[in-house]
Amino acid sequence: MKTLLNLLAGPGAMLMLLALLSCTQGPQPGAEQQQQKPENSQKETVMPDKIHITIDDKTLSIVLETNDATQALVGALREAPIQYTASDYGGFEKVGPLGRSLPADNSQITTQAGDVILYSGDQIVLFYGSNTWSYTRLGKIPYESLDELKAFLKAGEGNVSVTLAL
């Protein structure tokens, strides 16, 4: 007992105290920061790979490109669907005003049937033919046959009401 009292009263007391403290199960310095999650953290918004296009009562998908224009378009669609009127132009496309501007990153491309293109930053072009111009590609409407695509777009039939939605 005398030895234990000498140990606790002498210079060994500090070493014993440090040894006992290091054996505790409490959090280590800095652990609080690692374990806490930010209180105002927002869920990360995932960019969808497609959106939906409806003409009359038929709906197809548009497989999206990954660019600033599609990100801005999806951001707008998160607020509400977008409706616009598209009309035939040149015998190879339906074009209509989007009602807002999107960031354009135009490059010279040759379009194909099914391509969905941003023109002049504020118009959507739906191709049922081909054209070469400076555009920003938004996506593509997958289709079984050209006749099916033309029927969906009502190619050559004048104005159509188009709805874009998530």
pLDDT band (50, 70, 90) for residue 10: low
Tell me which residue of 103, 44, 37, 33 sits closest to 73, measured CA to CA.
103
CATH number at residue 152: 2.40.100.20
Task: Name, in order, each residue with C-beta under 8 angstroms of 73's C-beta and a sequence gap of 6 or more.
Answer: 51, 102, 138, 164
Specify the pTM.
Answer: 0.73
Residue 42 belongs to some domain of the structure: no
Residue 133 belongs to some domain of the structure: yes
Residue 22 belongs to some domain of the structure: no
Residue 23 belongs to some domain of the structure: no
- Residue 59 structural domain: 50-165
What are 55's strand-pairing partners? Answer: 58, 162
What is the number of structural domains in the chain? 1
What is the per-residue pLDDT for 45?
Answer: 77
Residue 45 belongs to some domain of the structure: no
Structure tokens belonging to residue 95: 């074009």
Residue 80: DSSP 8-state: -
Q: pLDDT tens digits for 40-76?
A: 444 457 999 999 999 999 999 999 999 999 999 999 9
What are 116's strand-pairing partners? Answer: 126, 139
Residue 30 belongs to some domain of the structure: no
Specify whether the CB–CB gap between 92 and 130 falls below 8 A: yes
In this predicted structure, the answer to whether residue 103 has a pLDDT above a threshold of 50 is yes
What are 52's strand-pairing partners? Answer: 61, 165
133 or 35, which is more confident: 133
Residue 139, judged by CB atoms within 10 A of its CB (0-12, 13-18, 19+), counts as buried
Residue 16 belongs to some domain of the structure: no
R_g of the chain computed on alpha carbons = 31
Structure tokens belonging to residue 41: 């953290």
Residue 7 belongs to some domain of the structure: no
